[in-house]
Each structure stands twice: as C-alpha cells, then as structure tokens.
Amino acid sequence: MDMVDILRKFLRAERTGNWALHIAAISEMLPFMAASGHNLYTKSARIYVQQMCKLQKEHPDVYRKFQEGYHVVRRSDRLWAGLSVDLIIEQVLMRSMKTSGGLTRGRGMTEQQRVTWLLAMPACAEVNNAMQELTGVNFNTGEQNKDMTDARQARDMKDAQIVLNYLLERNPFCQDPSLCSVSTGVHAHISVNVDKAKTIGNTILARMDGHTIAEYSFKKKDQAITMNTQSSVKIGGEVVQVDPQLLFQRLTVAAKASQDLASVFKYELCSHPPALFDTSLLLRQPQKPVLADAIWALLTPDLPGITGQVQYVLDGGALVQRIPWTRGSTYNCICRLYTEYVKRKYGEAIVVFDGYEGTSTKDMTHQRRAGGRTGATVTFDEDMPVTMKKEEFLANSTNKQQFINMLSGHLQKNTCQTFHAPGDADLLIVQEAVESATTRNTVLIGDDTDLLILLIYHTNLDTHDLLFKPEPKKSTKNPRVWNIKVLKQQLGPSLCTHMLFMHAILGCDTTSRLYGIGKGAAIKKIITSNVFRLEATVFGTSSASTADVVAAGENALVCLYNGKPGPQSLPPTSAAAKYHSLRVYYQVQQWKGTVNNLLPQDWGWKESDGLLFPVQTELPPAPQEHLQVIRCSCKTDCSNLRCTCKKHNIECSVVCSKCKGSGCANSFQETECENSEFDDHENSD
C-alpha cells in the first residue's frame, strides 16, 4: 500500500505540475528501486534528487518556474493535463516524426532536414489552427476532467469491483503472519524478505553514501528476495540468485566449448527442472480434464444409463464445496442445509470424506487450491453463528476437519452412511462404489477426473451397473454420464490395466505435468508401443525396486518425448526424471491400495516445516567448471582474458560478482539491455 501511495503522489505531481510533490515522490521511490534491482534508476534518480534540491540556490529562475508548474508540459488548460517531458517527446515529437509528413516518411534524416522540420513545426501548428477556424471545426477543451465522465466512472467502478471481488475470495489481511502468494496460496520460504523491501532499500542507499556512480557496484545478494527470485545456484561456495532462462542460455553457450558435450546435458542447466516445475517450489499443474476428453473421444456415443432404484455414493469433498453458506447462520443450520440437499437428491447416500490431519503428498495441491485464502483456526460448536466467509474458513485444514466431523454426524442421524479417509479419499470413494455395485446398481457423484480413472481400473465386469456422474451444473446442457462397465469393454483390457500409470506419469495432483505433452499422448503410446506397455507394467508391480522404477520411468519418458528446443521443452534429465518416476510409482501404488509399507520420503518426497515437498533433482544445475565459467569475479574492468566471461566469449551479466554486467568493458549488450529500463518506462507510460 505504501508503494501504491507513492505512485499516486507521483501521478498527482506530474498531472498537476506540483514540483515539491514530484521531488518527494521520487525520493520515496528510491528504497524500492534499490531493493528490486533497478540499479540504473536508483543511481540516476538519486543524483537527480540531489541536484534538484540545490536548484533553488544554484538556478533560482529555473526553480521559480518549476514551482509554477513548468517542469511538466501541457497540451491543454485542464488542471489534470500535465505530462512528463519524456512522454511529450515520445507521444508528440516522435509520433509526428513517424506519421504521415514526418521525417521517417520519405523526408530523410540529415542534419539540415531535421533542423528544417523542427523549425517548421510552429508554423505548421499556426496553419493548422487557422484551417480549424476557417472550417469551424475548432478543437476546444473544457474545464471538466475527462476522467469524471459518466462512461469513465462506470468503467472505473467495474474495474474496482473486479479487484474487490478477487480480494474478497483471497483475503490478504488475515492473521497468518507468514508470507503467502495471493494468487496461488503457496507460502513463501523463510528466505523471502520482500515484505521488508523499504528497509532493505534504505540499507543499500546507505552503502552508496560517499561513492561515485562509476565506482559503486550493486550486489544481487543485497536485493529483496521474492518468491520468483528464489531460483539460485551455488558457484564457488556462494549462493547466487539468477533467472532460470538466463542461466540456461549462458550454460548452453559455455557447454559448446566442452570436449564432452553429452556429459553436460546430464544436468538441467537451469536452477530447477523446467520440464517438471513451474517455479522452484511448484509442480507443473496437471490438466486432468484433458484425459477424460481423450477417453470420451474413443467411445461410441450415448453410453447406456441406469433406470430404477440406485445407490448413490458421494464425494464428500465436492459436497462440502457445493452448498453456499449464509453469514450469521449457525453451524447447525448449515449442516442441516447439507443434509436436506443430500436426502432430497440422493436419498440414503454413502458419503466419503477426505482427511486433513498430518502430512500428505497433496500438501502443495491444497495450498494451490486455497488460492491464497487463509483463515484463522476457529473453535466452534453447532449453536455458534458463522462469522467468516466459507472459503476462508475451509482454507484452514483444522476448521475443515472439524466441520466434516460435525457434518458426518448429521448425515448419519438422517440414515446416510459416512466414511472418513485418513488422507486423500479418492481410493476409498471408489472402493465404496465398487463394493456397492456388487449388490445393486450404483452411481458415483463426483467431479474429479481421478475418480473416473480409478473406477476404470477397479470396477469388475461381473457386478451390477456402475455409473460415474458429475454433479449437474446450470451451464452444462448435456452432462456426460459414464457407464463404467460399458466403458471398460470398449477401451479394452490393455488400456484399463495401465490407466493409473498413464494418468500419473503425465500429471495428477501429486506428480508433474510434462511440459508440452498432452494426456492423449499416453493413450496413443499404450495402443501403439509395446515398449511403453512393458515399462508401464513395472509401475503396476507392488514389489518393484527403486532401480527398476527409475529405469522404467526413464524409458517411458523417452517414448513420450519428441525433442524440441528451449529449456522447458527439453526432456527432464535422468536425475530429475528419477524422482518424477518415484512419485509416479508411489501414486500408482496408492491408487491400487498397496502403499501401506511405502514411505513418501523414499519415493521422491521430502518433509519440511510439517509439509511434504517434491524432490527436484540430485545434481546441481551444471558441472562446477561450467558454473565457474558463466560468472567472473574481476576487480578491474573485465578488459583482458583474465576475465573468465571474456575468455569464453560470454558477456558479463548480473550473475557476475563485481561488475554485475554493468559498465565494464565486457558488457556492452548487457548495459544496453539494462539501459532499456528507461525505454520500458516510456513505453509502459
């Protein structure tokens, strides 16, 4: 909010021509510029503020004009019409140069032509005004601020409402003191200190005191660490924060000089495996509905349904999300709403709930689904009124577990059966549905593609009919109804046997989506590739060793991938694929119900701060000799071959420990790139 307030001050200063507010706003920006790594802005803006503070003594006439509002340019007489000089250059002079009649449209760019064109501009403006007066089409400006028109106010109100609705669902003003992404719900690592950006920036500014622009060098490690800058590599014993794309490009260039190029590509050449991870924390989000679409495309239309009396089995997790809560109602009233809904639509249904106690391989998925919403732990009873939003309340796992226990009691009193899984309930839901189908026709109500895949694997053909039916939505005209027995007959035994593996290897809630490979690819491979089917068999074996799983997983990935350029499009290395394969095997065994003797820590997971996190790889981003090559530690200007960057034909960059790729003799392009900060500022304005 402080940063937003500074921007508002700056905009007001520019629009109204308020010189004192202009200097104050830029002064307040300095710590944030320094903390965020905008090094050229930090240096230039600080020198600018220092010089402008001396303006009253050194140039009183200029200072007086600036006080009157002449540090900005106006093209109309409106109060809010001031524009920065750089915007005038871009939007007026540069624009007129490039439009019809401008210098770039056939006139030429010699010195004489430029002078003639510039001197002619005032005369052209007078001619333009005269033509407007003659034809009676004068452009007149009014006193009203155009931002106050009804249309603009309506648009602004609509935009503000969108922001408010977004924040109401993801309340950032909660009691949880830890840093959390508002959009993804992922909690930041303890090293993230971006909330202290102002303090960090002031520390950097204090270190600049007494130095000239040329001699002061910024250090990456001094900047604020955000969740996006946690990607780091260890070079020469020092942890260096570096952009994964930059690291990949520089390591690829360095690797070309290697005598053994193949050995270099055993490493990811990035700070995290980009084919498997969105960031250094998150698995690539799966696209589970795509697999359901691919399966549906293989079937004949109009699968037969079920008529007559059926037993319904409900996914308790989806049920809890389905009923809206009214603030002020008691928890007893809310439980009664759920009970009446179940009894009215599904009769004496079987309801299976997830468990939310202890660690789970779905910890990261739960954080992602919470979407940044967090709620304080509430001690409640049935007669207590609801004081929190439903999403906020259920984002707390303790609250959710207590409410599920309460709701389960109400359902049982109304002749519904309830079951509780210790963790993820998908397998238990399917097992109850399959068990019910041994005595009567059964319908499983749920929205998760995982349930469909598990039904295809576990359903027996010699039982009563078993259907999978998503909860009807108003927006869905013809919802799909899956007759699992007919579905298994049409797919054939080979596809059904390997369905769990196909789903897990290409991404589910606990395994990564492979970048650039769709779910349909695994179905095609199972149908056409004997090698892929053979490797899939290993994952279905309950007694497979880790060595067998790693080898089979790597061979399966080789079958799936077609090589394409780019760090994320490249297949994961063997070191990263190893842990992906282990997680896939653990998930397949969990779905099969044979995971009792397996620990997730032995199959691609690690525990930290009471949560389970996926292991990314067992190797550093690149060989140490190549990591040493991509950065220099020169204390001079990097002008000779003692600079490791220059020696290997790599320009210095922000990774370098001293020069930071700015101002040295080996950083021409990097300096131009950093100077583009100013161009980006102009373009964004």
Higher per-residue pLDDT: 323 or 680: 323
In a 3-state reduction of DSSP, which class is residue 432? helix
pLDDT, tens digit (0-9, with 9 covering 90-100), for 472-483: 766 566 778 888
| CB neighbours of residue 127 within 10 Å | 11
CB 549 within 8 A of CB 573: no
Q: Where are the alpha helices (DSSP H) in 381-517?
A: 390-394, 397-413, 426-437, 449-458, 484-491, 493-497, 499-505
Tokens of 443: 């319908």
| DSSP β-bridge partners for residue 482 | 468
Top CATH class of 306-480 equals alpha beta
pLDDT, tens digit (0-9, with 9 covering 90-100), for 260-289: 666 777 777 777 787 888 765 678 888 888
- The pLDDT value given to residue 595: 73
Instruction: Work out whether strand 605-608 and strand 350-353 pair parallel, antiparallel, or are unpaired.
Output: unpaired
Amino acid identity of 451?
L
- The pLDDT value given to residue 451: 93
**What's the rounded Cα separation, in Å, for the pair 267 and 131?**
70
Tokens of 302: 């109009």
- What mean pLDDT, rounded, does the chain reach? 82
Q: Report whether pLDDT(539) > 60.
A: yes
Burial class, 497, CB count within 10 angstroms (exposed 0-12 / middle 13-18 / buried 19+)? middle
Of the candidates 68, 80, 88, the one whose C-alpha atom is nearest the C-alpha of residue 12 is 80
CB 263 within 8 A of CB 616: no
Higher per-residue pLDDT: 188 or 56: 56
Tokens of 266: 């055993």
Residue found by looking up tokens 């210095």 in the block: 652
Residue 3's pLDDT band (boundaries 50, 70, 90)? Answer: very high
- The pLDDT value given to residue 122: 81
Burial state string for 610-632 with b = 16 or more CB within 10 A and e = fewer than 16: eebbbbbbeebbbbeebbebbbb
- The pLDDT value given to residue 186: 67
Q: What is the DSSP string of 95-123?
A: HHHHSTTSIIIII---HHHHHHHHHHHHH
Residue 147's pLDDT band (boundaries 50, 70, 90)? Answer: low
Higher per-residue pLDDT: 613 or 625: 613
Higher per-residue pLDDT: 625 or 226: 226
- Torsion angle of C-alpha atoms 400, 401, 402, 406, degrees rounded to 10: 100
Residue 563's pLDDT band (boundaries 50, 70, 90)? Answer: very low
Tokens of 279: 């960031």
pLDDT, tens digit (0-9, with 9 covering 90-100), for 77-110: 778 888 898 888 877 777 777 777 777 776 677 8
| DSSP β-bridge partners for residue 608 | 611
- Once rounded to an integer, what is the mean pLDDT over residues 120-132? 84
pLDDT, tens digit (0-9, with 9 covering 90-100), for 398-449: 889 999 999 999 999 999 999 999 888 999 999 999 999 999 999 999 888 9
- The pLDDT value given to residue 567: 54
Burial class, 120, CB count within 10 angstroms (exposed 0-12 / middle 13-18 / buried 19+)? exposed
Q: Report whether pLDDT(488) > 70.
A: yes
CA angle 378, 384, 386 (to 5 degrees): 65
Tokens of 509: 């809630």
| CB neighbours of residue 57 within 10 Å | 8
Query: Where in the chain are the domains?
Result: 1-83+192-224, 306-480, 524-614
- The pLDDT value given to residue 180: 76
CB 320 within 8 A of CB 407: yes
pTM of the predicted model as reported, rounded to 2 decimal places: 0.64
Residue found by looking up tokens 């920065």 in the block: 84
pLDDT, tens digit (0-9, with 9 covering 90-100), for 355-401: 888 778 887 777 777 665 666 778 888 888 888 888 878 888 888 99
pLDDT, tens digit (0-9, with 9 covering 90-100), for 309-339: 889 999 999 999 888 888 788 999 999 999 9
pLDDT, tens digit (0-9, with 9 covering 90-100), for 661-679: 766 777 754 333 343 444 4
pLDDT, tens digit (0-9, with 9 covering 90-100), for 178-237: 787 776 666 777 778 888 999 999 999 999 999 988 888 888 778 888 876 545 666 555
